[in-house]
Structure 1
Amino acid sequence: MSSDPSKVIEFLQFVGRLKHIKRTGWVLRDVQNPECVAGHMYRMGILSLLIDEQTGLDKNRCIKLSLVHDLAECIVGDLTPHCGVDPEEKHRREDEAMKVLADLAGAAGDELYALYKEYEKQETPEAKFVKELDRFDMVLQAFEYEKEEGRVHELEEFFESTRGKFSHPLVTTLLKELNAQRAKFEDMNGAKDQ
């Protein structure tokens, strides 16, 4: 590590905030024990480990993208469309936050910032795949909350927001199974009238 240890400690303290920042979408929907941003990023990293090498995707790059894609939230918070922040302003804030984090990370900073920009631009197969993982983890989490809290079909808006946005075979296979499990859960527990 060729970085200033005091800056690295500051970087780690910033990043540590992600263990306590609750994801805004779940807070707004009154989920009893909403996940934190770090938990979301962790499961995305694990999902990236499931990549079959024959897909042509760089597994290590996907893991890195998963771990970095929401890193700026340790400074700006988890901003959603419901927060009243213009998308361009959100991007500006996150970009500035990533520059701060990159500076504190020292030698690794350039890579962190480059990974963030790659994810934001959505131009590489890995960035596009990780975006699908981001969406898939959200709907998986929504289903988990529906089951845990007996909220049959109550978090449908999260599923609706992702319809038609999946194309990678790994993700579409998982989504098909998730939808089948959700339909079975709803049948067994009496889905509310639509």
Structure 2
Amino acid sequence: MASQLPTSPERIAAILKFLDETNRLKDTLRSGHTPGGRRESTAEHSWRLCLLAIVLGNDLEGIDLLRLLKICVVHDLGEAISGDIPATEQSAGDDRAARERTDLATLCAPLPPDLKADIIALWDEYAEARTPEAVIAKGLDKIETMLTHTTGDNPPDFDYRFNLAYGVEATNRHPLLAAIRAHVDARTGSLASHPGR
């Protein structure tokens, strides 16, 4: 094993400054609700997305699990600045991706150049879905959102049918994603036919 040089105090300070800023993700609320009925944070969504990747890791042949986890952790970091746009309000051409990338670059500004470049490259990989790991991350991201919709204590007017059309393209790009989606769609169908549970 190659020995590493000790991390400089300046590098440590830069990393800690970045972590202080990204801590805001814990207060960035999404439209999904927890089983207890409160709105979830983006940090909570990212945590469960990573957990989903871990428990499926053995079934994802040819996927670099560490890279997948890195992408999952980074994919919504930019929301720490401008917040989350609920899935129900997203549309093509809404410039959301450009804003999130700009916000991510702002968050990464304190980092040493190598770390900044690594994090932004992971985000770009996700946004462009240009690798197998990014394809899986995008699909799992949609599935995690759908799972939250089906297990949260949602408001009485929550439209479960939204799930049935949400993220179809992303979840159809891999057989395992499609298989999981079929289960989530069945769960959603049951909820949609019995509003107010």
Give the TM-score band, short-chain normalised. Answer: 0.7 to 0.9
State the distance in 1 between where 2:92 and 2:155 align. 32
Counterpart residue number, 1:138: 145
1:53–1:191 Cα change, 3 Å: closer
Q: Deviations over 1:40-69 (max 9, x none)?
A: 111111111122266211111110000000
State the distance in 1 between where 2:188 and 2:26 align. 28
1:95–1:186 Cα change, 3 Å: closer
Counterpart residue number, 1:178: 184
State the distance in 2 between where 1:151 and 1:15 align. 33
Structure 1 stretches of 5 or more lacking a match?
Answer: none
Q: Quick check: 1:7–1:105 contact (8 Å CA) kept in 2? A: yes
Bigger helix fraction: 1
Aligned residues: 183
Counterpart residue number, 1:56: 62
Structure 2 stretches of 5 or more lacking a match?
Answer: 1-6
How far off its partner does 1:98 sit?
A: 2.0
Tell me the SS of whatever aligns to 1:26. strand
Counterpart residue number, 2:100: 94
Residues 115-134 of structure 1: pairs in structure 2 closer than 5 A = 115-134=122-141
Larger relative contact order (CA 8 Å, sep ≥ 6): 2
1:150–1:34 Cα change, 3 Å: closer
State the distance in 2 between where 1:191 and 1:85 align. 29
State the distance in 1 between where 2:109 and 2:40 align. 28
How far off its partner does 1:86 sit?
A: 5.7
Query: Alignment RMSD, CA only?
Result: 3.0
State the distance in 1 between where 2:91 and 2:184 align. 31
1:152–1:86 Cα change, 3 Å: closer
The amino acid that maps onto 1:7 is: A
1:64–1:36 Cα change, 3 Å: same
Counterpart residue number, 2:161: 156
1:78 matches 2:84: yes
State the distance in 2 between where 1:32 and 1:108 align. 37
State the distance in 2 between where 1:16 and 1:70 align. 12
Query: What's the TM-score once normalised by structure 2's chain length?
Result: 0.77
How far off its partner does 1:78 sit?
A: 1.1
The amino acid that maps onto 1:14 is: E
Q: How much identity, in percent, do the aligned residues show?
A: 24
Mean Cα deviation higher: 34-43 or 172-181: 172-181
Bigger strand fraction: 2
State the distance in 2 between where 1:104 and 1:115 align. 17
Paired residue for 2:119, among 101, 108, 112?
Answer: 112
Counterpart residue number, 1:46: 51
